[in-house]
Amino acid sequence: MELPKNTFKQALAKGQPQIGLWSTLCSNIGSEVLAYSGFDWIAVDMEHAANELPVVFSQLQSYDPSPATAVVRLPWNDPVVVKRVLDIGAFNLLFPMIQTVAEAEAAVASTRYPPHGIRGVSLAQRGNKYGRIKEYTTGIERELCILVQIETRAALDRVEEIAAVDGIDGVFFGPADLSADLGHLGQPGHADVKAALAEGLAKCNKAGKPAGILTAAEADSIHWLKEGYIFVAVGTDTAILARGADALLARIKEGAA
């Protein structure tokens, strides 16, 4: 078997906008529903959702035959977790709360086999189709997409240096944590936060790396796509479900009154 090509990574490198959705339902059935909705990528969140490894495993199985690409947001910059997520077949990893060049370098190292990193070797796991992809150990680094998340002022000040780390394929900005760090907790739309996001985009452009973001409002999604953010998550599955359910019930009650 041949090693699959990472079309998501290729699209980012070419500057082709990729519209995504955040997934926190922790369900392979929910994943399968989302997988065919037309989004370019879906974030499987292990940081702020109850996603443990077997559940992530089943979600990756749902996404693999679909047009959507799975991006796994890790719970932390932990090489043990990274190793296990890669072994179950993830190709795209998002590392949260990266603050320094050293942390970015450690993130990359956790995805590389020796001598270029510290990833442990397993020759028969889902990632290499249980030993059937013979070039996995020699070719996987070429297809992995490593993304780092910027969520503080200190990290924002170092974006160019972090983005320049060899092996980093994109930089993702988290408005929620960034707004908290800037003193505007719960206000991701605050003018200071928007200015910081614009600054981050400019620094990524200067470094030649694509910038990504998660937005909660449609207007913000459109705004940042027009400004030049490349990979943009435009909502979350839980919010879509909650708002859809609330709106349906409200319409029925109003119509039946």
Q: Where are the alpha helices (DSSP H) in the chain?
A: 7-13, 28-35, 53-63, 79-87, 101-109, 136-143, 153-157, 159-163, 175-181, 191-207, 218-227, 237-256
CB 133 within 8 A of CB 2: yes
Token pair of 250, please?
Answer: 């409200």
| Selected catalytic residue, list 48, 116, 184, 190 | 48
- Confirm whether 184 is a catalytic residue: no
Which DSSP letter does residue 94 get? E
Q: Are strands 41-45 and 18-23 parallel, antiparallel or unpaired?
A: parallel
Name the 3-class secondary structure at 72: strand
Distance CA(77)–CA(52), nearest Å, equals 16
Cβ contacts of residue 248 below 8 Å, gap of 6+?
Answer: none
List active site positions. 48
